[in-house]
Structure 1
Amino acid sequence: MKLSDRTVLVVGGTSGIGRELARRFAAAGSTVVVGGRSEAALARLGEEGFGTVRVDVTDDASVASARDVVLDRYPELDTVVTMAGVMLVEDLRDPAHFEATRTTVETNLLGTVRVVDAFTPHLVGRGAGAFVTVTSGIAFLPYPPMPSYAASKAAVHAYSEALRAQLDGTGVEVAELVPPAVATAGQEKVNPNALPLDEFADEVMDLLAQEPTPREILVEGVLMHRWAERDGTYDALVAQRSQALAALPGRRR
């Protein structure tokens, strides 16, 4: 994928990985629009020179409105990155967890579908462009305290595969970004082994720049997750990660 001279929309780009990728695309010479819910964060990004649009991916009308605003201002849009997501801890022994499940699926899975649906006609009509969907290493190697997060990201993986097949021949490519734990928004306190954001972004942009664009953007740090089943390490790694369940509220060691 050529990284310069593109017009890129990063939905969910007001913080963390999304914001860093927006900055990297801009630094490479592309026009970048950031979508998100936080008016304050969008204002700060506007001061950096980004285009901005308010969008809530859990709301059909908000996504449709954002699409109309973006295409009116940036009719040359050729790349859509769907970053919006939530990570919530759940105790499946407590029925109250279902609200976290609902929020997670509504945001991570249905939010991705809403954004993709909103911009598919435009990109197909152009005959060229790209979607970048975002899953997680947890889609392939679950972290048991976050069951709905894992399920939603696994679903986005499957959806991305189907989307790529259905858009074959249209000129629109689909790349799936699969992050490991990355040190953003306090993640380094939760996981001291989280990959530094700068290192992660360096690898991602190098991979995106390859021709042809890889179907999956896999940095070195996520390979153990992606290929755990193939490598025969899956059961041992899930058991190891299950030890974190002891820290759930109401659980006893």
Structure 2
Amino acid sequence: MNLTDQTILITGGGSGIGLGLAEAFEKLGNQVIIAGRSQSKLEMARAKGFATLTVDMTSQESIEGLAKEAIQKFPALNCVIHNAGIMKNEKLSKGDNAEIATDTVLTNMLGPILLTSFLLPHFLKQKSATIMTVTSGLAYVPLSMTPTYCATKAGIHSYTESLRFQMKDTAIEVKEIVPPYVQTHLMGERQAYDPNAMPLHEFIDEVMSILKNNPEVDEIVVQRAAAFHQASFGGEASYREIFKSRNEFFLNARKAEWDSM
């Protein structure tokens, strides 16, 4: 992936990892367009000098409109970073998770698939293009407290693998960023200031370093996510131990939050 002189669309780019990537890519001389639903976040992005577009990632019509508007306003567009996502606890035994599950699947999984579909004809005409998904270490070792979130990230990982294989004879690169637990507002204030989470600036710096030093890499995996990413390679017993220990850790750490649901 060429890290300069690209025109990059980032969904969910108004905060957290998306904004961090937007700022990092802009510093390298790229044009970055931030897309999102929150008008307050888009206003803050515009105040930082970014172009912005509005999209509802739960709506096919809105996603198609985003693709058309982005191509029309930015004909040099040749990169998309699928970063928009939601993550919520679900106590499955309560049986009232339909709305959370639906919104999560639409936003985290179907949304990126649809946007890719709408952008592909344009990208295939470019001299080079990049499609980058943002999954999670939880795509490889799920967190039981957020089952639908983990399922969508596993689904996008699988989709990314298939997309990469289908694009292997084209000028389109397909990459996957695999974040660990990062200090963002994805699950609220607690996560943003949790000392157990990786500081956002450290995560962004490591991602950009990997891309700079190994531009051909398919999966951008920072060190803190490596154990999750590689869990299955150690055999079933090793995987089960990692799954058990991480889930017990988070259930204990968030006991009051979980018990109150």
Is TM (by shorter chain) over 0.5?
A: yes
Does residue 150 (structure 1) correspond to residue 135 (structure 2)? The answer is no
Amino acid at match of 1:201: I
Q: Per-residue CA shift, 1:213-250, capped at 9, x if unaligned?
A: 21100011100111112135321221123324463236
Partner of 1:223: 226
Does residue 237 (structure 1) correspond to residue 247 (structure 2)? The answer is no
Mapped to 2, the partners of 1:67 and 1:250 lie a distance apart of: 41
Structure 1 residues 68, 245: CA separation in 2 closer, same or farther (over 3 Å shift)?
A: same
Partner of 2:22: 22
Deviates further, 13-22 or 240-249? 240-249
Provide the aligned C-alpha RMSD in A.
1.6
Three-state SS of the structure 1 residue aligned to 2:143 is coil
Amino acid at match of 1:205: M
Three-state SS of the structure 2 residue aligned to 1:206 is helix
Mapped to 1, the partners of 2:67 and 2:212 lie a distance apart of: 26
1:13 touches 1:84 (CA, 8 Å); kept in 2?
yes
Mapped to 1, the partners of 2:2 and 2:166 lie a distance apart of: 23
Deviates further, 61-70 or 72-81? 61-70
Three-state SS of the structure 2 residue aligned to 1:64 is helix
Three-state SS of the structure 1 residue aligned to 2:107 is helix
Does residue 200 (structure 1) correspond to residue 206 (structure 2)? The answer is no
Three-state SS of the structure 1 residue aligned to 2:93 is coil
Partner of 1:249: 259
Partner of 1:170: 170
Q: Per-residue CA shift, 1:66-120, capped at 9, x if unaligned?
A: 1122111110011100101010101121211232221211111101111111211
1:175 touches 1:213 (CA, 8 Å); kept in 2?
no
Mapped to 1, the partners of 2:183 and 2:161 lie a distance apart of: 28
Partner of 2:94: 94
Deviates further, 44-53 or 169-178? 44-53
Amino acid at match of 1:195: M
Deviates further, 106-115 or 206-215? 206-215
Does residue 214 (structure 1) correspond to residue 224 (structure 2)? The answer is no
- Shift, 1:188, TM fit: 4.2
Aligned length: 250
1:80 touches 1:131 (CA, 8 Å); kept in 2?
yes
Mapped to 1, the partners of 2:214 and 2:120 lie a distance apart of: 23
2:55 touches 2:62 (CA, 8 Å); kept in 1?
yes
Partner of 2:140: 140
Mapped to 1, the partners of 2:57 and 2:213 lie a distance apart of: 30
> What are structure 1's unaligned runs of at least 5 residues?
none
Task: Provide runs of 4+ in structure 1 moved above 3 Å.
Answer: none
Mapped to 1, the partners of 2:17 and 2:31 lie a distance apart of: 18
Deviates further, 44-53 or 75-84? 44-53
Mapped to 1, the partners of 2:71 and 2:192 lie a distance apart of: 37
TM-score by length of 2: 0.91
Q: Per-residue CA shift, 1:164-199, capped at 9, x if unaligned?
A: 11111110010001000111123144x422111111
2:178 touches 2:219 (CA, 8 Å); kept in 1?
yes
Deviates further, 150-159 or 59-68? 59-68
2:136 touches 2:177 (CA, 8 Å); kept in 1?
yes
Three-state SS of the structure 2 residue aligned to 1:10 is strand
TM-score by length of 1: 0.94
2:104 touches 2:149 (CA, 8 Å); kept in 1?
yes
